[in-house]
Amino acid sequence: MYAALKSGYRLIDTAKYYGNEKEVGSAIAHAIKDGICTREEIFITTKLVPWSSRPDADIDDSLQKLGLSYIDLCLLHQHGSDFGDDAVYKAMIRAVKTGKIRSIGISNFYTEKTVSHFINDFEIPPVVIQNENHLKYQNNSLRDWAAKKRNLHRKLLSFRRSRSHSRASEKSAGS
């Protein structure tokens, strides 16, 4: 991660489930200390699991491991159960209100029904719907539907994507 920041990457995508938040936080601290970047230049996304029994504490744990005072974007990692999803999403809303999280969204929600729940039934709707997209899986119907709802449908491109297709101006690290 340090090498990525040194190379100019500024979008970092991690997750509690990945088990690497501490290492990511260490690299960020090192890069800031070395003058490679400032906190304000980095956009940090992390994700919470839907089966958490303590989502408020998980947010604090992510902040501590990342060594940050706030997270730019926090996503509900995937659909679990309606009860679990709602509890985690409500904790994310509470964290927005206290300044621990700047924006919230959802990840790996692939149907209009599951996405609509978050758009329609919560005080703060998701600003991002982050889903996998690649040549063999496009899910254009959800993308088009989300565009009409004015949500950003952020595509996660296949890990095997060749370098020749990446844009230098959109450097991101993680995932």
Annotated catalytic residue 70: no
For residue 43, what are the β-bridge partners?
A: 11
Residues 158, 138: contact at Cβ < 8 Å?
no
Select which of 2, 9, 17, 18 is catalytic. Answer: 18
For residue 154, what are the β-bridge partners?
A: 130
How many Cα atoms sit within 13 Å of 72 on the Cβ side?
A: 13
Residues 91, 51: contact at Cβ < 8 Å?
no
Measured on CA atoms in the order 114, 101, 8, 18, is the torsion positive or negative? negative
Through-space distance between the first and last CA atoms of the chain, rounded to whole angstroms: 11
Question: What distance in Å separates the CA atoms of residue 81 and residue 160, rounded to the nearest whole number?
Answer: 31
Query: Nearest-5° angle of CA 91, CA 43, CA 157?
Result: 95
Question: What distance in Å separates the CA atoms of residue 140 and residue 149, rounded to the nearest whole number?
Answer: 14
Give the residue numbers annotated as catalytic, written as ranges. Answer: 18
